[in-house]
Structure 1
Amino acid sequence: MSRHLVLLPAPEAEWAQLPPEEHEKGMRSHQQFHRDLADGGHRIVVAGPLTPSVEATSMRPDGEGGALVTDGPFTESVEQVVGFYLLDTEDRADLVRICTEFAARGELIELRDMVAGTGQQDDGPVTS
């Protein structure tokens, strides 16, 4: 079993201006993605949308042993991660096929593999 993270980047300002029927189209696309994953034997561990990047809290070292905490995204970018899927699968090639079909419906996707041996199981937090 391998674990993968599907990141959903999107241009937030552009997305916010879309008409309701485009949002509905996106919801139908996600519902189809869920069905395709289930039909392929892939397991959604957790998934969900994220609040807008302007509502993020960013933290970075302050250079003096502390941290600088600011409101807003860590980096300024046209696209921000707006949601994610954490998935378990026995068949990465099929997962790539399903993600490709999802992207072909107009979704932006970044598929990342979890590093083997680091939090692959639901047996508690990763420790170093």
Structure 2
Amino acid sequence: MTEYVVLIVGDADRWWTTMDVAQRKAGYAEYDRFGAELARRGHKITGGAELHASGEARSIPAGGGTPTEGPFAEVTEQVGGFYQVETDDLDDLVDCCQIIAALGDGIEVRRVVKPEDRPS
């Protein structure tokens, strides 16, 4: 099986700043449905997490330097969470991701680099 990371990209803070409890519960139910659908279709979730607000981030500039509070870039879209998924069917994994994309965030699916992918 090949391992992928499913990145959830959008207004990561909206879950905490603009959505009421009922909206958040409905959204979380869709994430539960996404996980169940992955399992039903033979994909295996191996890790992942929802991330707290981007304002809590600590960023270190490229090349090192003084860490700053908040996200690295002042943009409206940030990574709000991720899943690690093992699968033999990338196209079906992407199809499953439509469930959570429908909630309003962008989804990026990327293959994980394995040790054998690196030059020796």
- Same-fold status (TM-score > 0.5): yes
Who is 1:69 aligned against? 67
User: Which is greater in Rg?
Assistant: 1
RMSD of Structure 2 on Structure 1 (CA): 2.5
Give the number of aligned pairs: 119
Residues 101 and 107 in structure 2, CA contact (< 8 A), matched pair in contact too: no
Q: 1:13 to 1:41 in 2, by over 3 A?
A: closer
- Give ranges in structure 1 of 5+ residues lacking alignment: 121-125
- Give ranges in structure 2 of 5+ residues lacking alignment: none
What's the TM-score once normalised by structure 1's chain length?
0.79
Distance in 2 of aligned mates of 1:116 and 1:54: 29
Whether 2:93 is the aligned partner of 1:87: answer no
Q: Where do 4+ consecutive residues of structure 1 move more than 6 Å?
A: none
State the SS of the aligned residue for 1:34.
helix
Q: How far off its partner does 1:109 sit?
A: 3.3
What's the TM-score once normalised by structure 2's chain length?
0.83
Q: How does 1:36-51 map to 2 (within 5 A)?
A: 36-51=37-52
State the SS of the aligned residue for 1:75.
coil
Q: How does 1:113-128 map to 2 (within 5 A)?
A: 113-114=110-111, 117-118=114-115
Distance in 2 of aligned mates of 1:22 and 1:119: 43
Who is 1:103 aligned against? 101
